[in-house]
Chains A and B, each alone.
Chain A
Amino acid sequence: MLRFILHKLALIVPTIIGITIASFAFIRLLPGDPILAMAGQHGIKPERYEVLRVQYGFDLPIWEQYFRYVGNILQGDFGVSLSTKRPVLTEFFTLFPATVELALFAMLIAVLLGIPAGIFSAIKRGSWLDQIIMGVALTGYSMPIFWWGLLLIIFFSGYLGWTPVSGRIALQFFFDRVTGFMLIDSLLAGKPDAFVSAIRHLILPSIVLGTIPLAVIARQTRSAMLEVLGEDYVRTAKAKGLSPNRVIGLHAFRNALIPVVTTIGLQIGLLMAGAILTETIFSWPGIGKWMIDSISKRDYVSVQSGLLLIALIVMAVNLIVDVLYAVINPRVRVQ
């Protein structure tokens, strides 16, 4: 197992180096001068320009600039945001829990609805219920989620008035941000009404972000179940008179789970992309909205480091998924 993990780690090292090169190159590929780009619309005095040029090391040869960049990153220095003048790393990890909370809730919805829907569809293969579920799943898979979010706001917030339009929690609630997760912090502060408010804010964005993963998981579960239901061991289990629930739950589903878990893992990168749109629509103060704001404010230091941090996090999650996959499926470890 340790060898498997080390092997996987060795494989991603070149990719990580590539990612640092890509994010290093980003600020230098911007049209025009990088310092002028970093200064933003306000412009800059010539004296200050020279100071910054030396400070950021733009007078050095390009490879030396790159090694300085990587050196800084390894020491946890991801630069200072141009718009807020705070360290980018601090900014990032202040907002990160909001995105994680949203993504976890979205995934929870996707898994809790997607897997049963897929199993049900597979058992009732060819029935009108199967066709309806799969039709809905394909519609969800084809959904422009930014529009889906707007529709849900129109209906649930505007027409019915059930849910708030934006943000993470109603403004009247104040409590310490211990973990950064609203649901946990509100409970730690002993404020159940704040907890309810946080849930009400969370529900629509989670549905929107969870829609595509839900569709993918339902489709994948169905096809994995269909494959397994045709296997000999399932027929044997049926033949020896086990109840249908036992056959499906114990014999079929446990084996169908392997490809489904992989699919769930692969949704992480997709969730990050979806978070950009979802957070923008619901003014959710997370990483996705922060990236969009940074791009529109031309805060290129934040964009550069955000890009790098997000890619590293996605890679780390994928690595964890790979390892978990090897734990539940020993065949993977052997190769």
Chain B
Amino acid sequence: MTDTPVDRARSSRFAALREFWYYFSVNRGAVLGLFIFVGLILVAVFAPLIAPFPPEQQFREFIRMPPPFAGGTQPQFWLGTDEVGRDILSRLIHGSRYSLFIGFVVVLGAMIVGVVLGLLAGYFRGWVDAAIMRVMDIILAFPSLLLALVLVAILGPGLFNAMIAIALVLQPHFARLVRAAVMSEKSREYVTSAKVAGAGHLRLMFVTILPNCLGPLIVQATLSFSNAILEAAALGFLGMGAQPPTPEWGTMLARAREFITSAWWIVTFPGLAILITVLAINLIGDGLRDALDPKLKRS
């Protein structure tokens, strides 16, 4: 029954997945990170249902109310209220949507552009390679946050422009990675045989070679995901990212500076949310590297 080629392919894919999980789950930190990350996605998806209050609702009579465990008198505000009386917990819950959205979209954008450029450079070599890689070198010569800041100055402040800027700054890493992987794969026998069988350039690049570069690409994507969240938060903090009253975590911290001596909870919780999210993703990244990088495996 299970001997048709389709079934065999399916079972070997399943086996590969099982092997991957075996190596991934050895790393307890990675599993913990995965749990936190899945939890965050659930929070983001169901934010309006979970959050006790709408993120923009102001309780003018309870401005800068401390959390109940720190002397606050209003038990309904679990993490206290901010400088205009908005519930911090509700804003954090809604803010998770922004951070995860930023991460996904920026990584997707950076990856698509970077992979295409890297494939072209590594596959064709010659002047195509030289031209693409010089441009990548130039982008990498600038400190990433500075370049993102300047790009936002050109495009105008705002979440969408900040995301474009961050994607542009992150994509050279993908391009370099894919280029290197393509160059090492290109001379392998399976590529030659596909070429002999009559596969065109596009098929060779995307169908034959690309899937075999996937491991390092996934690890890089995870790294970029946490970088994107950090940079977007930094831009928001500097007033160049998402604009108030958006409950983006970095933007929430921008005005919190004024209250570092008087209302610590306004400063503490948004940053903690960023840290936990980024840490969870980096934990997953470490686990993925252990599971996907054949050089480190079984050593």
A interface with B by C-beta (< 8 Å): 14-15, 18-19, 22, 26, 29-31, 135, 138-139, 141-144, 146-148, 150-151, 153-154, 158, 230, 269-270, 272-273, 276-277, 280-281, 291-292, 295-296, 303, 307, 310-311, 314-315
Contacts and interface: CB of A to CB of B under 8 A. Distances in A.
Contact of B260 (A31, A139, A153, A276): A153
B150 A310 contact: no
Contacts of A150: 253, 256-257, 260, 267, 271
B49 interface: no
8 A-B pairs closest in CB distance: A147-B271, A18-B138, A273-B143, A273-B145, A142-B278, A272-B143, A142-B279, A144-B274
Interface in B262-298: 264, 267-268, 270-271, 274-275, 278-279, 281-283, 286
Contact of B271 (A151, A230, A270, A296): A151
A273 B144 contact: yes
A163 to B, nearest CB: 13
B189 to A, nearest CB: 27
Contacts of A276: 143, 145-146, 149, 238
Given A272-B143, A277-B234, A311-B142, A151 B267 contact: yes
Contact of A270 (B143, B154, B261): B143
A307 B256 CA distance: 29
B244 interface: no
Contact of A142 (B253, B261, B264, B275): B275
Nearest to A230: B299
Given A18-B141, A142-B282, A277-B234, 13 more contacts: A14-B134, A19-B142, A31-B154, A135-B29, A139-B279, A142-B278, A144-B230, A146-B237, A147-B274, A151-B268, A153-B260, A269-B143, A314-B142
A229 to B, nearest CB: 12
Contacts of B240: 295
Counting contact residues on chain B (CB < 8 A from A), the size range is 35 or more
Given A276-B149, A292-B149, A147 B142 contact: no
Contacts, number: 124
Contact of B275 (A31, A144, A230, A311): A144
B274 A291 contact: no
B17 to A, nearest CB: 26
Interface in B224-264: 226, 230, 233-234, 237-240, 250, 253, 256-257, 260-261, 264
A212 to B, nearest CB: 10
Judged by DSSP, the binding face of B is helix
A138 B150 contact: no
B235 to A, nearest CB: 10
A147 B275 contact: yes
For B146, B226, B234, B271, the residue with the greatest tally of chain A CB atoms inside 10 Å of its CB is B146
A154 B260 contact: yes
Nearest to A304: B150
B150 A26 contact: yes
A144 B278 contact: yes
A218 to B, nearest CB: 14
A2 B238 CA distance: 44
Nearest to A298: B153
Contacts of B19: none
A108 B142 CA distance: 23
Given A291-B146, A296-B239, A315 B141 contact: yes
Interface string B149-171: 11001101000000000000000
B154 A29 contact: yes
B146 A307 contact: yes
